Amino acid sequence: MDIRDIARLSGYSLGTVSRVLNDNPGVSDRARERVLQVVRDVGYEPNTNARHLKMRGRSSSYAIIVKGMQNMLFTDIIEKAEGLFAQADEEVRVHFVDEDADEAARAAHLDKVRHPKGFLFLGGTPRHFIEGLSEISVPCVLLTNTAADWGLDTLSSFTTDDASAAESVIDYLWEMGHCRIGVIGGNWVSEVSARRLEGVERAFRARGVTFDRERSYEPCRFSMDEGYQATMRLLARSGDLTAIFALGDVIALGALRAISDQGYRVPADISLVGFDGLDVSQYCVPRLSTVRQDTGLLARRGVEALMAAVEGRGTPAHEFVPFRLLRRESVLALRM
Amino acid sequence: MDIRDIARLSGYSLGTVSRVLNDNPGVSDRARERVLQVVRDVGYEPNTNARHLKMRGRSSSYAIIVKGMQNMLFTDIIEKAEGLFAQADEEVRVHFVDEDADEAARAAHLDKVRHPKGFLFLGGTPRHFIEGLSEISVPCVLLTNTAADWGLDTLSSFTTDDASAAESVIDYLWEMGHCRIGVIGGNWVSEVSARRLEGVERAFRARGVTFDRERSYEPCRFSMDEGYQATMRLLARSGDLTAIFALGDVIALGALRAISDQGYRVPADISLVGFDGLDVSQYCVPRLSTVRQDTGLLARRGVEALMAAVEGRGTPAHEFVPFRLLRRESVLALRM
DNA sequence: CTGAAAGCGCTTACAG
DNA sequence: CTGAAAGCGCTTACAG
């Protein structure tokens, strides 16, 4: 069943059918109705390959490139972004790539074979973008990671101010009387966690204290399991901690369990703060204090900027989206 | 940059280049090397649209259709299935559809426009399949839901025996001395939860007791929030419960929080059992007793069956994949 | 082993 | 407003 069949069945020419299908002007109402009728009757669907082959360039959909499948913060943003695209009557395709895959290379490839209108990246590695962005011919927006310092002028980015947010966590803990604070998660290299760690150090420095990387920090990946292990190591080494700051809620969940397994209680013995503001953080016992990243706003700013760029409006920008420190049950106020 | 450019640059004809690109036999080593060299040099990538337009029918990839993005059981299965396809050197594309969208119709559409080799469904509604499966021209496999009774002969399905699993949960609780057991989650209509509820009723019946749907059951969707609300309602109505069975781990998480908010403790005052065996179930405090669905095996059986069907081997089947009851900390043994 | 040619299913100037 | 024709970038019989 192809467009020629529709032409034959409707009594019109192939060109006219195509015009109807593409909502082109210059078709009589009668022809339009007749063709549409036939199309419906036989359940015809145009061959996208043939279509795209011709309309090379002007493709019809956006692409979201996501690093990792298990990141709940990302799933949240994806759903919101999808909603936004749908509202604007734009198609989107979500592409997952491995945690450590080259997202820019993948996008460059998709750019060649699918010609999307633009790319929305969830998570990204500087090196990949710096090396590969020039291969991408359409506008790109990065979320949850700032590209402000990458020297790329075709890439916008929207993110939480990770450093400030982390800083505010330490400030909060300090206010509550904690000064022996352990930190777990990420590492000093990976962008996002490095910035959160920067914030931690800044907060300590502001109080004339040096954050002891060796003693008070344990790196780990963003999973419950690794959060658990890291907490165990940290606890074994530094028994006098009164609080732990986990650089991700998922890590905090592991920490919660580890602390409990060590016979301590949260927050009675050890206070705990997470990062991200995932749904689950408000359901754990005790409710987890955390930094809430505004996924809704992140998605909105990202999608808007991307669509604007595609339409030639606006200019690449790097913005912080406001975060909120959620003070919940997992932090105890120490009597001084 | 297209195949003609490569032909020109390499000094060979368009046909030869195409043969090299497709690993066709009947090309001299010299030609092959030369062409590949040029391809690498200029970074040429064939136009998939043109390619698929010609090779209509024999497409190259599989499609996974997933109902809902937030289902962590599904994400787990997806990752494993992707790994399996990758091992077999097969391409896969993951397509998410809304929780209540028509997955069969979506697949039928994809079938027409992308011609995948086969479909792997994660979650599915009987009605959609019964009405729409005939529109799909390639093999289909459904996971986490049995299609044994749908009367469809082109669809295989692999799933946990939900009824038996639920039954074993009740048996377990009963053994531990619980007989006033509340159940939350799903409803009597939706396939999966209905089967779990069947199992619950069967277990009670085996003990000569009738499960009181009105009093002891609260339906809800599979989210922490709804699990929380449902538990609150249940607790308000039936204060004498000693145990709650949540039909999903996510629901159990909400229940855990609700029970705690009501001033009860798990398991001291109320025991709790979940379903699914999500990662998070072993990190919550207390560790959640639950039914572990074997996502690895589910993925493996599904992918194998699908690839076999595509290759014309095997015949549609409906199988249960073994589950495991995980007895952890959230259930208290009552002294009788 | 290689090349020239037909054709996949569409869109879009170009005439009329 | 409509039709006939060219061409998008490929693959694949068909000759040679």
In sequence order, the β-bridge partners of residue A34 are none
Same domain, A212 and A315: no
Mutation for testing the B interface, residue in A56, A98, A283 having most B CBs under 10 Å: A283
Scanning every residue of chain B, which has its alpha carbon at the shortest distance from the alpha carbon of A285? B257
Chain B contact set for A257 (CB, 8 A): 282-285, 287
Residue B333 lies in a domain: no
Q: Which two tokens stand for residue B233?
A: 């309602």
Same domain, B167 and B153: no
Predicted local confidence at residue B297, as pLDDT:
98
Which carries the bigger pLDDT value, residue B79 or residue A51? B79
List residues in chain A touching B: CB distance below 8 A: 45, 47-50, 52-53, 56, 69-70, 75, 78-79, 94, 96, 109, 112-114, 224-225, 228, 253-254, 256-257, 260, 279-280, 282-285, 287
Same domain, A70 and A176: no
Task: Give B93 CA → C12 C1' in Å.
Answer: 32
Chain A contact set for B287 (CB, 8 A): 257
Q: Please identify which residue in the block is written with the tokens 């419960």.
A: B241
Chain B contact set for A109 (CB, 8 A): 45
Percent of chain A with pLDDT over 70: 99
Contact flag A224-B283 (C-beta cutoff 8 Å): yes
Q: Give B279 to chain A, closest Cα distance, Å.
A: 8
Same domain, A45 and A166: no
Residue B225 lies in a domain: yes
Which bases of chain D are contacted by protein, using any atom under 7 A from a CB? 1-5, 7-13
Chain A contact set for B78 (CB, 8 A): 69
Predicted local confidence at residue A162, as pLDDT:
98
Residue B262 lies in a domain: yes
Q: What is the pLDDT of residues B41-85, one digit of tens each?
A: 888 888 877 887 887 655 678 999 999 888 999 999 999 999 999
Q: What is the pLDDT of residues A11-45, one digit of tens each?
A: 999 999 999 988 888 889 999 999 999 998 888 88
Instruction: Give a three-class secondary structure readout of chain A.
Output: CCHHHHHHHHCCCHHHHHHHHCCCCCCCHHHHHHHHHHHHHHCCCCCHHHHHHHCCCCCCEEEEEEECCCCHHHHHHHHHHHHHHHHCCCEEEEEEECCCCCHHHHHHHHHHHHCCCCEEEECCCHHHHHHHHHHCCCCEEEECCCCCCCCCCCEEEEEECHHHHHHHHHHHHHHCCCCCEEEECECCCCHHHHHHHHHHHHHHHCCCCCCCHHHHEECECCCHHHHHHHHHHHHHHCCCCCEEEECCHHHHHHHHHHHHHCCCCCCCCCEEECCECCHHHHCCCCCCEEEECCHHHHHHHHHHHHHHHHCCCCCCCEEEECCEEECCCCCCCCCC
Q: Which amino acid is at A169?
A: V
| Cβ burial B250-268 (10 Å sphere, 16+ → b, else e) | bbbbbbbbbbbeeeeebbe
Contact flag B50-A49 (C-beta cutoff 8 Å): yes
Identify the CA nearest to A230 among candidates A199, A198, A193. A193
CB B54 within 7 Å, strand C = yes
Residue at the smallest CA–C1' distance to nucleotide C9: A50
Average pLDDT score over chain A = 93
Taking residues A310-327, report their average pLDDT: 93
Which carries the bigger pLDDT value, residue B89 or residue A73? A73
Task: State the CATH number of the domain containing residue B251.
Answer: 3.40.50.2300
Residue A287 lies in a domain: yes
pLDDT band with cut points at 50, 70 and 90 for residue B234? very high
Same domain, A119 and A227: no
Give the count of beta carbons closer than 10 Å to the beta carbon of residue B167. Answer: 21
Residue B315 lies in a domain: yes
Contact flag B285-A257 (C-beta cutoff 8 Å): yes
Pairs of CB atoms within 8 A across A/B: 83
Q: Which two tokens stand for residue A131?
A: 């090396």
Most trustworthy range by pLDDT among A1-10, A148-157, A218-227: A218-227
Residue B327 lies in a domain: no
CB A48 within 7 Å, strand C = no
How many whole angstroms separate alpha carbon A319 and alpha carbon A301?
A: 9
Spatial neighbors of A47 by CB under 8 A, at least 6 apart, are A2, B53, B113
* Under 8 Å between Cβ of A143 and A121: yes
What is the longest distance spanned by two Cα atoms in chain A?
89
The CA-based angle B8-B11-B12, given to 5 degrees, is 95
The CA-based angle B136-B76-B114, given to 5 degrees, is 25
Chain B contact set for A260 (CB, 8 A): 285
Mutation for testing the B interface, residue in A5, A49, A69, A93 having most B CBs under 10 Å: A49
| CB neighbour class for A228 (10 Å; exposed up to 12, middle 13-18, buried from 19) | buried
How many whole angstroms separate alpha carbon B259 and alpha carbon B272?
A: 10
Residue A13 lies in a domain: yes
Q: What is the pLDDT of residues B180-226, one digit of tens each?
A: 999 999 999 888 999 999 999 999 999 999 999 999 999 999 999 99
How many whole angstroms separate alpha carbon A233 and alpha carbon A258?
A: 10
Same domain, A176 and A92: no
Contact flag B75-A78 (C-beta cutoff 8 Å): no
CB B50 within 7 Å, strand C = yes
A58 pLDDT more than 60? no
The rounded Cα A112 to chain-centroid distance in angstroms is: 24
Taking residues B321-326, report their average pLDDT: 98
How many whole angstroms separate alpha carbon A86 and alpha carbon A96?
A: 19
Contact flag A224-B79 (C-beta cutoff 8 Å): no
Percent of chain A with pLDDT over 90: 75
pLDDT band with cut points at 50, 70 and 90 for residue A336? low
Taking residues A58-85, report their average pLDDT: 90
Which residue in A47, A69, A280 is closest to B75 by CB distance? A69
Residue A302 lies in a domain: yes
Considering any atom of strand D, list protein residues whose CB lies within 7 Å.
A 11-16, 19, 25-28, 30-31, 50, 53-54, 56; B 2-4, 14-15, 18-19, 21-22, 24, 46-47, 50-51, 53-55, 58
A318 pLDDT more than 90? yes
How many whole angstroms separate alpha carbon B245 and alpha carbon B182?
A: 6
Q: What is the pLDDT of residues A173-184, one digit of tens each?
A: 999 999 999 999
* Under 8 Å between Cβ of A81 and A89: no
Task: Give A26 CA → D1 C1' in Å.
Answer: 6
How many whole angstroms separate alpha carbon B26 and alpha carbon B135?
A: 39
CA atoms within 13 A on the CB side of B181: 31
How many whole angstroms separate alpha carbon A294 and alpha carbon A301?
A: 11
Scanning every residue of chain B, which has its alpha carbon at the shortest distance from the alpha carbon of A279? B224
Cis amide linkage into residue B316, ω under 30° from 0: no
Domains in chain B: how many in total? 2
* Under 8 Å between Cβ of B125 and B58: no
Which carries the bigger pLDDT value, residue A110 or residue A215? A215
Chain B contact set for A283 (CB, 8 A): 224, 228, 253-254, 256-257
How many whole angstroms separate alpha carbon A322 and alpha carbon A306?
A: 19
Taking residues B110-135, report their average pLDDT: 90
Task: Give B115 CA → D16 C1' in Å.
Answer: 36
CB A114 within 7 Å, strand C = no
Q: Give B332 to chain A, closest Cα distance, Å.
A: 18
Same domain, A13 and A153: yes
Average pLDDT score over chain B = 93
CB B20 within 7 Å, strand C = no
Chain A contact set for B256 (CB, 8 A): 283, 285
Identify the CA nearest to A119 among candidates A133, A131, A130. A133
How many whole angstroms separate alpha carbon A125 and alpha carbon A104?
A: 9
Instruction: Give a three-class secondary structure readout of chain B.
Output: CCHHHHHHHHCCCHHHHHHHHCCCCCCCHHHHHHHHHHHHHHCCCCCHHHHHHHCCCCCCEEEEEEECCCCHHHHHHHHHHHHHHHHCCCEEEEEEECCCCCHHHHHHHHHHHHCCCCEEEECCCHHHHHHHHHHCCCCEEEECCCCCCCCCCCEEEEEECHHHHHHHHHHHHHHCCCCCEEEECECCCCHHHHHHHHHHHHHHHHCCCCCCHHHHEECECCCHHHHHHHHHHHHHHCCCCCEEEECCHHHHHHHHHHHHHCCCCCCCCCEEECCECCHHHHCCCCCCEEEECCHHHHHHHHHHHHHHHHCCCCCCCEEEECCEEECCCCCCCCCC
Same domain, A91 and A219: no
How many whole angstroms separate alpha carbon A247 and alpha carbon A197?
A: 8
Residue at the smallest CA–C1' distance to nucleotide D12: B15
In sequence order, the β-bridge partners of residue A325 are A291
Contact flag A285-B280 (C-beta cutoff 8 Å): no
Residue at the smallest CA–C1' distance to nucleotide C2: B16
Predicted local confidence at residue A25, as pLDDT:
83
CB A46 within 7 Å, strand C = yes
Same domain, A24 and A80: yes
A332 pLDDT more than 60? yes
Identify the CA nearest to A69 among candidates B84, B157, B96. B96
A90 pLDDT more than 70? yes
Pick out the nucleotide with least CA–C1' distance to B53.
C8
* Under 8 Å between Cβ of B231 and B204: no
How many whole angstroms separate alpha carbon A242 and alpha carbon A225?
A: 22
Taking residues A284-302, report their average pLDDT: 97
CA atoms within 13 A on the CB side of B22: 17
Cis amide linkage into residue B286, ω under 30° from 0: yes
B258 pLDDT more than 60? yes
Give the count of beta carbons closer than 10 Å to the beta carbon of residue A83. Answer: 15
Same domain, B197 and B274: yes
Structural domain harbouring A314: 3-159+295-322
Q: Which two tokens stand for residue A177?
A: 């009387």
Which residue in B47, B69, B279 is closest to A113 by CB distance? B47
pLDDT band with cut points at 50, 70 and 90 for residue B336? low
The rounded Cα A211 to chain-centroid distance in angstroms is: 29
Q: Give B151 to chain A, closest Cα distance, Å.
A: 25
Same domain, B273 and B315: no
How many whole angstroms separate alpha carbon A19 and alpha carbon A31?
A: 10
Taking residues A200-221, report their average pLDDT: 96
The rounded Cα B232 to chain-centroid distance in angstroms is: 29
CB A3 within 7 Å, strand C = yes
Contact flag A283-B257 (C-beta cutoff 8 Å): yes
Same domain, B132 and B200: no
